[in-house]
A and B are shown apart, each in its own frame.
Chain A
């Protein structure tokens, strides 16, 4: 079955991203297709490569990036929400004059529009929301 996931909270403060990650992993293990994971609201903060959690803690961003690489997942960070919160890819960093090297989008994530959220609602058999 084609399943999509919406994550509305950032890492660490709320459990939402952890729950969504465990859900995505379980869905893939059961042979379902994870059509897309869309990060909205503070959820865009899951997609920064700049987090440095303590070594004895899980690295939520890395967990997502590795899962994306392993299963060719489509991790989409909402552009409007990302701009508000300082999550940039190369193109956005350049366009807004933020200077060389300021792009902070993590591997496996891409920044795109809210249309991607609507599209995943249309295209998927199921949509599950994780938030606070």
Chain B
């Protein structure tokens, strides 16, 4: 005799999304860390969590404009940052002091924007320049910090 039908299992409790911060402290190309960090960001974007990227120390060099890797024979992955908005990754915290120490201003970085679906798909900048103390506070608010 067939077993009586069991009541279907309760759907898994939808856990509240966590806040993920990817902390980028290294320049691109000299090592693979910047690229492989970006690959995690791309995969992680599919998981419905709160995602933000932090660029401090040499990490700010990842966002410079005009990167040209043709002569190196490696892939230029800097355009990928501009595509992240389409994946819902719209928070790029860039540290002001780290830029200043390296002689950079916002003009030296590529423009990264996203379309705000909550505001008539208006194009908005993803990059937010924050001070070092603000960056310290942002770190405190996270659930998961990923460093590569």
Contacts and interface: CB of A to CB of B under 8 A. Distances in A.
Interface residues of A, number: 17
Contacts of B133: none
Contacts of A6: 146
- Consensus secondary structure, chain B interface: mixed
Nearest to B33: A41
Contacts of B36: 40-41, 81
B147 A131 contact: yes
A93 B9 CA distance: 38
Interface string A6-41: 101000000000000000000000000000000011
Interface residues of B, number: 19
B39 A80 contact: yes
Interface string B20-37: 100000000000110010
Interface string A73-95: 00000001100000000000000
A40 B146 CA distance: 12
B87 interface: no
Interface in B1-58: 15, 18, 20, 32-33, 36, 39-40, 43-44, 46-47, 49
Contact of A121 (B18, B46, B147, B148): B18
B133 to A, nearest CB: 23
A41 B148 contact: yes
Which of B15, B32, B47, B144: most chain A CB closer than 10 A?
A: B144
A118 interface: yes
Given A8-B33, A118-B43, A129-B145, 14 more contacts: A6-B146, A40-B148, A81-B36, A113-B43, A115-B46, A117-B44, A118-B20, A118-B44, A121-B20, A121-B144, A121-B146, A122-B15, A122-B18, A122-B49
9 contacts: A115-B43, A115-B46, A115-B47, A117-B40, A118-B43, A118-B44, A122-B47, A127-B144, A127-B145
